[in-house]
Amino acid sequence: MKLNFDTLRTHLDGDPARAYLVTGDEGLLVGEAADAIRARVKRAGFDEREVHFIERVADWEGVRASSNNLSLFGSRKLIELRLPSGKPGTGGSNAIVELLRDPSPDNVYLMITGKLERESQSAAWVKAFEAAGAWLPVWPVEVARLPAWLRTRAAKLDLELDDDAVRSIVERTEGNLLAAHQELEKLRLLVPPSSGKSRIDAATAQAGLGDSARFDVFQLGEAALSGDVPRALRILAGLRSEGVEPTLALWSLSREIKNAWGTTHNEGYNARSWQRPSAALENAKRRAGKLPYARLAVRTSRADRMIKGQQRGDAWDEMSLMIIEFAGRRSLPLAGTRAA
C-alpha cells in the first residue's frame, strides 16, 4: 500500500505491517514518520531494534544474517535500514525483494532513504515494500502551504498565530520546516502559560525568532519559476550574503528558464521536474509562452561573463534583472537595446 501522513495515522491505529519504506529529503517529516512507526512497532511487541547503514553491497549480507538470526533474548525485532542515496543497486534490490518475499513474523523492516527519482519509484524493491507493507513518500511543504502548516503545528502547541506572525516565521525560516518547528517550540517557552491558546502577534514572533533562514540554489530556482519576485530576490540576496558562488545561482536560474522554454517548444527540458504537481510549475506554465527568452538568454550570457571577469558589471545585479523578467515583468533595457 501507499501512505501519506493522514493515512499513516489511521494505519497505525491497527496492527503494524511487516515492512515500511519512508522516502524523502525533508528531515523533520521523515523523522516524525519514522518515529511514529517505531513507536507503534514497539507497542506491538517488537522490542529489539537493529540499525544498518547501507554503504556497499557487502552490507546486505549483514542484513540477511540479522533477518535469519533469532534474538538472543527471544524477542521480536525492528530491522532498520538507512540508505540516504535511495539507490540500492542491483544487489541491494535483489536482497530487498528476497527479504520481503516471505518476511519472518519476528521481524519488521523499516527502510529510510532520500527522495526517490521518478525511475526508482517503480523499481522492484519499492514494489516489494508496497506488497509486503507500505511506502510513505514524504514531500516538502510548498511555500503556499506553509502558513496552514504552521498554524496546525502551532495549535498542537497551544499557540495561535496571527497573520503577521505567520508571515514573519515564513520569511525568516524560508521553507526550513525543522527551523520553523524549533521557532514554534521557542515561542511556546517565551509566552506565559494560559488556560487556552496563547496568541502570538508579529512583535512577539519577531522578538523570539532567530535568523533560521537556510537559503539554497534550489529554493532560488523554485521561487523564480513560480514568478514570486520578492521571495526570489530575498533568496538571491541571502545566497550572496552567505558567500555562495554566483555560478551556482546562475545555474539554478538558467536551468528553470530552459525548462520553461521546453514546455512551449517541446525540447531540451527536464521533463521529470515538470511532471510533479506544484504551484510553482503551474504558475510557470501559464506564462511560459509569453516570456522574453531572447532577452533572458542575453542576460544569462552577460552574467556568466561578469562572473568570469570578461565583462564589467555585477553578476548578482544581472541575476536580479533575470528574475524580474522571468516573472514576465518589465526590467531595465539591455545595453544598446530598447526595453521589451
pLDDT at 211 > cutoff 80: no
Q: What is the mean pLDDT of residues 102-113?
A: 90
pLDDT at 133 > cutoff 90: yes
For residue 21, the model assigns a pLDDT of 95
Residue 221 C-alpha cell reads as 530556482
pLDDT at 140 > cutoff 60: yes
Q: Helices 246-265 and 279-287: crossing angle, nearest 10°? A: 60
Alpha-carbon distances of 43 from 5, 30, 37, 40, 249, rounded to whole Å: 20, 20, 10, 5, 48
The pLDDT confidence band at residue 214, using thresholds 50, 70 and 90, is low
The pLDDT confidence band at residue 272, using thresholds 50, 70 and 90, is very low
- Using an 8 Å Cβ cutoff, are 3 and 154 in contact? no
Domains of the chain and CATH, by start: 5-137 (3.40.50.300), 143-208 (1.10.8.60), 217-326 (1.20.272)
Please give the biggest Cα pair distance in the chain.
81
The pLDDT confidence band at residue 277, using thresholds 50, 70 and 90, is very low
φ, ψ of residue 12 to 5 degrees: the values are: -75, -10
For residue 128, the model assigns a pLDDT of 93
Alpha-carbon distances of 232 from 126, 132, 178, rounded to whole Å: 36, 43, 21
- Coil, strand, or helix at residue 300? helix
CA 152, 156, 162, 164 torsion: positive or negative? negative
